[in-house]
Amino acid sequence: KSPSPSPSPIPPKIVAKKSDIEAGTTLNVPSYGKTSSNKSNKSNKSPKGNNKSKTNKKKFTLKDFMSVDLEQFVLDNDSDNFDIAKAICKYYDDKCGDTDTVTIVADKSRGPNTAYWSKGDYNRVEKNCLSKYIMIYRACKHVDANIKVKQDIFESCVKGLCMDNLGHSQLIADKLDCVFGEGCHVSLASHDDFEVFCRYSDGYICEVELPSGDFVVAWRR
């Protein structure tokens, strides 16, 4: 369905987790990704009169996405996880002309277990980039939520699902999708020593320390 000619909605907010607490035990497990359906992956048609700018912009291919040298971001930002994640997102978003990039940065061997929605194969993980774990992916576009609740209700739901499904980020994300609609992302670790730079909508974002000592960042694009 083509977008209506009405003004564009307010873009999703930007959030980044900045932690100061001592990290706990190491968790180094794979992340799980879901790709959007063909319907979700269709690019929106440009309004009349804007086709020229779209045509002139060179497409950022999967090869381009995978070949970006990430060491430059680590060096330019003094190995600060938050600054690295922010700089990478800004770079990719500029190349792609949107705000769909998600970046997660931690020290080597301390990357969180992440369940996510991505555009096709636009995701990459560098496990040892100058002693940094760096995960980057292109998140699927925002779709309207099934329900609208306050942020604290969303957080309570995330916490409950995490406690019932501890250690299973994909299962937690699937259940969040069932309640709020597709597009829920979850990063889970046994420590809070990682940074997530992402966009979210409708106030659906939270950082929760669980009674087990595990830490989760959950959001909905």
Alpha-carbon distance of 39 to 202, in angstroms, equals 22
Q: Read out DSSP for the chain? A: -PPPSSPPPPPPEEEE----SPP-S------EEEEPPHHHHSPPPPPTT-HHHHHHSPP--HHHHHH--SHHHHHHTTT-HHHHHHHHHHHHHHHHTSS-EEEEEEETT---EEEEEEEEEEEEEES-SSSEEEEEEEEPPP---S----HHHHHHHHHHHHHHSTT-HHHHHHHHHHHH-S-EEEEEESS--EEEEEEESTT-EEEEE-TTS-EEEEEE-
| pLDDT tens for each residue of 157-192 | 999 999 999 889 999 999 999 999 999 999 999 999
Share of the chain above pLDDT 70, in %: 74
Residue 204 half-sphere exposure toward CB, CA atoms < 13 A? 29
Residue 129: what are its φ and ψ, rounded to 5°? -100, 95
pTM, entire model = 0.77
Instruction: Please state, rounded to an integer, the average pLDDT across all residues of the chain.
Output: 81
Cβ atoms within 10 A of the Cβ of 72, count? 13
53-107: pLDDT as tens digits: 444 567 899 999 999 999 999 999 999 999 999 999 999 999 999 999 999 999 9
Please determine, for residue 41, whether its predicted confidence score (pLDDT) is greater than 50. Answer: no
Taking alpha carbons only, the member of 196, 189, 195 closest to residue 215 is 189
